[in-house]
Amino acid sequence: MHSKASIAGHPIHPALVAFPVALYTATVAALLVHVGTHDVFWYRAAMWANLAGVAMAAVAAIPGAIDLFALPRRSRARVTGLRHAGFNVLSLVLFAVSAVILWRNVHGTPDDAGIYRLDTNAPLVLGIVGLLSTVTAGMLGWTLVQTHHVGVRPTVYGSHRDPSVVDDLDELAGVGPAPRDITPSARVEDRHFTDRLLRH
């Protein structure tokens, strides 16, 4: 099944998701360093990484949603995609709440003693749970590619099938395409690679 949101045949969503994953991880790492050093620099670094991660996650969600709703209804790929999206949305919400807390603390006012109270516990817990949710979403995302072959053009020995009629490449194992699925421009794109996929 081809990705509907792509540039020159390359899916956009997988190219963008690396940014929020890296920024979410940087947020938690910076908070842990702040806990160990009490250096305000790391608290601010966590805040900016968190904000950037939330922004990039929102951007990545747009092509992801396009691909999700383009998947065949009542297919295993669609169910996996919905779970993948659910965990990503959960991560986004958790890190969005964390970002609000970090922003308010950094831009807040000192207490009566003139000390800024930088709450680390809530953002750190939210960040860790958010990371676990992100890892789960990533596993499901890989299932979409590895098992259901979303974004992969299905081929069988020189013939090409319409991606909209294929749930995953397991359907093609040992089964030749119907004549209506063969296009005049069909060709072998990588027979050995396809062989490995079909034997998987």
Q: Say if residue 29 is exposed, middle or buried (CB neighbours under 10 Å; 0-12, 13-18, 19+).
A: middle
Residue 10, pLDDT score? 76
Task: Write the single-letter amino acid at 95.
Answer: F
pTM above 0.75, yes or no: no
For residues 67 and 13, the answer to whether their CB atoms sit within 8 Å is yes
For residues 137 and 84, the answer to whether their CB atoms sit within 8 Å is yes
| Three-class SS state of 10 | strand
For residues 2 and 144, the answer to whether their CB atoms sit within 8 Å is no
Residue 142 has pLDDT above 80, yes or no: yes
pLDDT band at 11 (very low <50, low <70, confident <90, very high): confident
Q: Name the token pair of 73.
A: 């209804």
Residue 64 has pLDDT above 60, yes or no: yes
Tell me the pLDDT of the chain averaged across its residues. 79
Closest among 193, 152, 161, 140 to 1, alpha carbons compared:
152
Give dist(CA 36, CA 170) in Å, integer.
50
| pLDDT tens digits for range 99-132 | 999 999 887 666 666 666 688 999 999 999 999 9
Kindly report which listed range (22-26, 35-39, 193-197) carries the lowest average pLDDT score.
193-197
10: Cα within 13 Å, side-chain hemisphere? 5
Mean of pLDDT values over 50-65: 96
| pLDDT tens digits for range 158-171 | 555 555 555 554 55
Helical pair 18-37 and 40-70, crossing angle rounded to 10 deg: 160
Task: Give alpha helix (H) positions in the chain.
Answer: 13-16, 18-37, 40-70, 76-106, 121-146, 191-199
